[in-house]
Structure 1
Amino acid sequence: MSGAPDESPTIMELTRLPLDGCGLWRHGTLTPAIVVCLILASSFIVADLYYYGVLGELPCQASNCSSTIPQPSVKLMMQDHMSHYIHHYGAEEFEEATSLADLPFITPNFITTVHIFVGALGGYLVSSEHYKIRQIAVGVFQFRIFLDMMDGVVYRRQLHQSTYVNGWGTLGYYIDAGADVLASVILVYGLFVYLARHPPRRNEGLPLRHPPEPITDVPVSRSTIQLTLVICLIQGCMRGMLWDRYQFAFHSVFSKVLHHKADAMLQASIFNSTLTRAVLWLWKLSSAEGMLGFVFFSIFLDFTWPMLVVIRKYGFIQLAVVVTISQLHAWQVSELLAKAA
């Protein structure tokens, strides 16, 4: 049958269409970046199953009982996956091998100052129009987070403190928090420069809409890009403050020394309950670092704008749900242990 040839795109051609400048799929197959992220995600799932399965019971801290099981850290249980399983343990092993904390010029604040400059380099690289350089920027930011973990390791080693907790109220605590906010601002500015130079197309960032709307040739306005990034930055700050609030609340409850065995056993039972561990695990994904983890994955896989739109549209809802569950559980735990001496 004669006629004009079918000029509709083939399945192979459709898989080559870019999503955010480069595209998740290339030549109809998985990219190395996707393989790396799948391996990481699988490793984190296995690590979570192992970590939450072997913690054991909270040791009885009363004077009339003893336990050889180390007390797990609430902060570590709420830490995002990259910081927990890679940066935290990596920093601990590095300090153990090098005795970095013993060097006279190495202080936590010195390391914090260094990672501010590393973050500035990452912000510059993430604004690049070249996909590979933006991937390198993700690595630079991960090194910044490693240094952020390292200043905590040095702080604890120099104070001969083994418990993994925040130094609430200290000067270093506020310097570290300020450095984290500054790094987030630098990242947001770098993303703005990149997105302003290469604006995404309308409806490109709505992957959850059914049926999906077609991507148009109309670029997203600069004001929309600015608003999206500012909302994400505000949300990140809120997540950081709320994470710190509930970390302090749960740490105070579960690290409290109870002098009656029955009270200590009740404390241990609550700590080891499925609900408590689920609440603490939810903050792995809901912390500021957890949100940044999703942003870094999106940069690495080159679908930055869709991820930012998802965070803008659904992030506050997800955060509100986690805060509600955490607050209700915190009230419940406080009420159950109110009479504990």
Structure 2
Amino acid sequence: MICPASQISKFLLTLLIIILLFYFYMDFNLYLRLQNYPLDNDNSSAITYEKVTWLSCRINPLCEVTVKGVLLDHTNYYVFGPLVQIIDNILRISDIKWITPNSISFFHIFVAILSAKCVTSHSLTYRRIGVLLFEIRTWLDDLDGHVARVRKHIKGERSEIGTAGYYIDGICDAVGCTALIIGVFVFLRNNPPRRGYILLSTTSDSKEPNILHSFKVTVKKVAKTVCCFSLQLIISSTAWNRYIALYQDLLENYDLPGVDKVKQCDVFKNSFFFFVAWLWRVINIHNLLHLLLLSIFCDKLWEFLRNTQYVGYGVLISVVCITEINIIDIKNFIFYSLNETEIV
């Protein structure tokens, strides 16, 4: 044994706190980036921003800020995205013609299936290996989008909605997530959680109390709980992709007159828009999967699923309502001069 389990737990907790602090620090810098260097389509703001940042724009996610980037979860945007760029700079994957974005998408399906197989194991070590494999799958998901954008000379995170690659990537992601959920269900079915403990008695000659497990959670209950979380993933994914499409149409439409382009920049500077985007960074499907994987890694899977079973719906519905209001306000603000209607 390398070191006591308690020391490992303290190390992992410290690492988690450092990561969260890093995410908040980057969010603060992202907010300043939007306030001082608005988006454009001629790359001038990225060049200007590179002069005041210590990190090269080749790996700095804050240089090329897009709608999708602002709505993307912290791990993908601040960790996996730059890591993909670094690996591509070293291996030149995007220059290898026989490696296509679609082939990468198909490959990470097999990584997800292997991950799900590990998640079903009785051994916590194997389940943790499964978590790491699924995070590799997520990195590969970032890689296929990166390769596609490089070959099309597209800067920053963007969704090319309606293209064949968009749908293939979505299908492969859905298959991979489904494999993970099946793995979670199989593990809980084979290792049903217990509802609690019963203290039977404590004898005078023994300091240890006699404890009996009450009863196991039924397979039906496990299936219901897993299905509830799966439906939350579907709702989150559907809504998140819908709002990326709507915000891209509103804020990255470069065919608008000059006065409306100024309004687009004003929206990006708006604190309420940033707040709404930040909410989606927390509850989009990628981050929900990260939280699920974290619960598996910490051996708290059932507790996580049980605690989010109904609360998750309330959070999702609330954020959807807030976002719909924000989109209506943005439409009215940007196209005010065209509609010639006064906003109250």
TM-score under structure 1 length normalisation: 0.83
In structure 2, C-alpha distance between the alignment counterparts of 1:104 and 1:60, rounded to whole Å: 31
Seen in structure 2, the aligned counterparts of structure 1 residues 176 and 340 have a Cα distance that, compared at 3 Å, is farther
| TM-fit CA distance, 1:109 | 0.7
- Match of residue 80, structure 1, among 73, 77, 90: 73
Q: Identify which range, 259-268 or 112-121, moves more after superposition.
A: 259-268
* Cα RMSD for the two superposed structures: 2.4
In structure 2, the partner of 1:12 is: none
**Aligned partners of 1:259, 1:233: CA distance in 2, in Å?**
40
C-alpha distance in structure 1 between counterparts of 2:325 and 2:176, whole Å: 32
Shift of 1:33: 3.1
State yes or no: 1:54 paired with 2:33. Answer: yes
Please show how residues 77-116 of structure 1 align to structure 2 within 5 Å. 77-116=70-109
Alignment of 1:175-190 (within 5 A): 175-190=168-183
> Matches of 2:127 and 2:80 in 1, distance apart?
21
User: Which among 225, 229, 241 is matched to residue 226 of structure 2?
Assistant: 229
Partner of 1:13: none
Q: Quick one: percent identity of the two aligned structures?
A: 26
- Is contact 2:88-2:94 (8 Å) kept? yes
Distance 2:65 2:23 in 1: 18
Bigger RCO of structures 1 and 2 (CA < 8 A, at least 6 apart): 1
Query: What is the correspondence of 1:179-328 to structure 2 with a 5 Å cutoff?
Result: 179-202=172-195, 217-257=214-254, 260-328=257-325
- Residue deviations 1:37-81, cap 9 Å, x none? 22322222222222222333424679xxx7556662110111111
Displacement of 1:27: 5.3
Letter in 2 for 1:188: I
8 Å CA contact retained: 2:268, 2:274: yes
| C-alpha spacing 1:193/1:269, structure 2 compared with 1 (3 Å) | same
Shift of 1:263: 3.1
Match of 2:163 among 156, 170, 183: 170
Conservation of the 8 A alpha-carbon contact between 1:298 and 1:304: yes
Question: Aligned to 1:268, what secondary structure does the other structure show?
Answer: helix
Give the corresponding residue for 1:35. Answer: 14
DSSP 3-state at the match of 1:104: coil
**Partner SS for 1:202:** coil
* Cα distance per residue 1:189-235 (max 9 Å; x no partner): 1111211121112269xxxxxxxxxx962211111111111121121
Structure 1 position 245, deviation (Å):
0.5
What's the CA shift string for 1:216-272, capped at 9, x where partnerless? 622111111111111211210111110000111111111122665443323212211
Aligned residue for 1:146? Answer: 139
Number of the residue aligned with 1:5: none
CA pair 88-222 structure 1, distance change in 2 beyond 3 A: same
Residue 301 of structure 1: how far off its partner (Å): 1.2
Point out where structure 1 has 5 or more consecutive residues left out of the alignment: 1-24, 205-214
Structure 1 stretch displaced more, 34-43 or 222-231: 34-43
Distance 1:102 1:29, change over 3 A: closer
1:125 and 1:136 in contact (8 A); partners too: yes
> How far, CA to CA, are the matches of 1:116 and 1:99 in structure 2?
23
1:57·1:272 contact (CA, 8 Å) conserved in 2?
no
Indicate the residue corresponding to 2:208 in structure 1: none
- TM-score, normalization by structure 2: 0.82
Q: Give the C-alpha shift of residue 288 in structure 1.
A: 0.7
Q: Unaligned 5+ residue runs, structure 2?
A: 50-62, 198-211, 339-344
Deviation for aligned residue 1:322:
0.5
Rounded Cα–Cα distance in structure 1 between residues aligned with 2:39 and 2:169: 31
